[in-house]
Amino acid sequence: MQTALIELSSNSFRLTVSDGIHNVLQRNHHLGLAASVSVNGAFTRSDIDEATFVAKELAYVAENFGYDQIMVVATEAFRLASNGENVAERISLSIGHEVRILSEVEETSLAWEAVSSEFPVHSNIAMADLGGGSLGLAFGPTNSNKPQQQSSHRLGVSLLSPRTLKNGILSSDTRIRLEHHIASELRPAIQKSKSQLPLPTILVGGAARGIAQLIYVSRRAELPDTAHGFVIDCSDLGHLINRLSKFPLASRLAMPGMKERRAEAMPLAATILRQLLRSLEVHEAVVSTSGLREGILQRLTAVRKAA
């Protein structure tokens, strides 16, 4: 029994076909829709055409590869865009499968489901899922499929990029203002769990994985097999921010471990994560390679077995 999942995410559209144990097929297309929505408030005609084309291509690949069930979900960029629901409906008609726009609660809860059971050594954890469109926070016990508290914040890397970066450079003045903004935005949610802090913190999302890879290479002069379980601390992030602030985009691309599509926004991603850790009153966090995708696939597998 194979499950196909198509994610229409704020940064990329992804196809994953899973047999319930392994991902047997994966495809990934970078679109960067959140940045466009940040500037325009809606998906442009070009965005819509490209999104529809890529979604059709992924659906075609899934159909020809074979699957027993398919799910198509969309995230923050579709929630934020003024025409997000209309575009989701257009894509649904084009590919012949319903596109479901996940709510903020669903998105964070699904990531939590995938991550919470991975760290049984801790009784309670904080999870932060940094994506292109949003930053999801969740707190709770690791033996529960649902967090005790969760929130979603429009602090995604792609969403903030047009407002904070100039030719890939994050100036010192802008960084300081951004740190104050992040702290202010997160404060109400964190205050609700203040009595439990500090908690072991798990970082989820492509930005955290990309940063972990850069820090790993700088420490050991080799690429890691996986970013899962890698520990990032505030000092690492500070050094990375300082290094990146000195390099123009072209020079960053030559850094070992740097992915081209992440090079421009990497100083911003590192700044968001550092301020997040400061707000959570922790000096370090552990990277998980699980997240929304794994949470959805786990739930679909569980539903299928129950049936």
pLDDT (tens digit, 0 to 9) for every residue of the chain, 307 residues total?
788 999 999 999 999 998 877 788 899 999 999 999 999 999 999 999 999 999 999 999 998 888 778 999 999 999 999 999 999 999 999 999 999 999 999 999 999 999 988 888 889 999 999 999 999 999 999 988 899 999 999 999 999 999 999 888 899 999 999 999 999 999 999 998 888 889 999 999 999 999 999 999 888 878 788 889 999 999 999 999 998 888 888 888 888 888 888 888 999 999 999 999 999 999 999 999 999 999 998 887 766 665 5
SS3 of 155-221: the string is CCHHHHHHHHCECCECCHHHHHHHHHHHHHHHHHHHHCCHHHCCCCEEEECHHHHHHHHHHHHHHHC
Q: CB count, 10 Å around CB of 144? A: 13
Q: Give the CATH number, domain containing residue 260.
A: 3.30.420.150
The answer to whether residues 62 and 202 belong to one domain is no
CATH of the domain at 76: 3.30.420.40
pTM of the model: 0.92
Side chain identity, residue 119? F
- Both 27 and 172 in one domain: the answer is no
Residues sharing a CB contact under 8 Å with residue 304, sequence separation 6 or more, in sequence order:
1, 3, 20, 68, 69
Residues 98 and 152 both lie in one domain: no
Closest by CA position to 237, among listed 291, 170, 190: 170
- Domain of residue 251: give its range: 105-292
Query: Domain check: are 118 and 149 in the same one?
Result: yes
What does each C-alpha distance from 62 to 50, 95, 299 come to in angstroms? 18, 11, 19
Domain tally, the chain: 2
Q: Determine the Cα–Cα distance for residues 239 and 32; give it in Å rounded to an integer.
A: 27
Q: Which of 102, 133, 154 is the last residue of a domain?
A: 102
Residue 135, strand partner residues: 130, 153
Residue 118 lies in a domain: yes
Cα 192 to chain center, whole Å? Answer: 23
In a domain, 306, yes or no: no
